[in-house]
Chains A and B, each alone.
Chain A
Amino acid sequence: MKNRLKVLRAERDWTQAQLADAAGVARQTIVALENAKYSPSLELAFKFSRIFGKAIEEIFQGLADEGK
């Protein structure tokens, strides 16, 4: 699942470790998410939504949206 985590994180000048701490996950999980190797659960997606102050669909692009 594609996402804008890397861009949003860079906009705020945060490191992967800082984002990991904010989300309560390991830094390796942030790496996997940013590389679109792992799709988060709804719970984790909501966490990122709160952290960045954006709607989930503004951060994550589902398979149905990828062709658009």
Chain B
Amino acid sequence: MDMDGKSKNPVRRAYRRYFWEFGSAMVLYVAMMWVRNWLLFGARPGASGPMEHAPQGWQIAVAAMPVTPVAFVLVAIVRLVRNTDEMQRRVYVESAAIAGAATALLAATYGLIEGDFFPKLSAWWTYSVFMFGWLIASGFLWRSYYR
């Protein structure tokens, strides 16, 4: 048994790797957002960007460019879930399932009432609701294992 301070614990390694990957992806996201906004909208408010007259396909590609680091975050999360221990994996997967179901229910409910009674919302809210729901659900599940 390795009882010295230098742990070979795979769970700690997985978390270290996750935080590094998540941090790098966030830095890349901020950089790509800056480049995207500069290309499409210019450096100053009211100014036009270098791609203002580019073909629409290119403008869409540039607008969606920052999703690349978001995909990196997704890969980092999947890697963490796969490399952590069985109990933590259970908490993450269970809470993701609860958050997914809650998001689907909210999206369906809002889909039925939007337009006539409520304003049409950006697709971003589903992402935010899912992530927030995942956080809350995992918090409750962690509590249930430690109380």
A residues in contact (CB < 8 Å) with B: 14, 18, 20-22, 24-26, 28-29, 31-33, 35, 37-38, 40-41, 43-44, 51
Chain A residues contacting B61 (CB-CB under 8 Å) are none
Instruction: Give complex CA distance A45, B61 in Å.
Output: 51
A21, B86: Cβ atoms closer than 8 Å: no
B8 close to chain A: CB less than 8 A: yes
User: How far is the CB of A22 from the nearest CB of chain B, in Å?
Assistant: 5
Known: A29-B87, A40-B86, A41-B86. A22 touches B146 (CB 8 A): no
A37, B146: Cβ atoms closer than 8 Å: yes
Instruction: Give complex CA distance A28, B142 in Å.
Output: 9
Known: A26-B88, A38-B87, A44-B86. A31 touches B1 (CB 8 A): no
User: How far is the CB of A26 from the nearest CB of chain B, in Å?
Assistant: 5
Further 17 A-B residue pairs, CB within 8 A, beyond A37-B147, A43-B86: A21-B2, A22-B3, A24-B9, A24-B11, A24-B85, A25-B9, A25-B85, A25-B87, A26-B85, A28-B87, A28-B88, A28-B142, A28-B145, A29-B85, A29-B86, A32-B145, A32-B146
User: How far is the CB of A46 from the nearest CB of chain B, in Å?
Assistant: 13
User: How far is the CB of B83 from the nearest CB of chain A, in Å?
Assistant: 11
User: How far is the CB of B91 from the nearest CB of chain A, in Å?
Assistant: 9
Instruction: Give complex CA distance A61, B145 in Å.
Output: 18
B146, A24: Cβ atoms closer than 8 Å: no
Instruction: Give complex CA distance A33, B90 in Å.
Output: 14
Instruction: Give complex CA distance A24, B10 in Å.
Output: 6
Chain A: CB-nearest residue to B15: A26
Chain B residues contacting A33 (CB-CB under 8 Å) are 87
The 7 closest A-B pairs by CB, nearest first: A25-B85, A32-B145, A29-B87, A26-B11, A21-B9, A22-B1, A37-B145
Known: A44-B86, A51-B1. A25 touches B11 (CB 8 A): yes
Chain A residues contacting B86 (CB-CB under 8 Å) are 25, 29, 40-41, 43-44
Q: Could you tell me which residues of chain B, from 84 to 114, have a CB within 8 Å of some CB in chain A?
A: 84-88
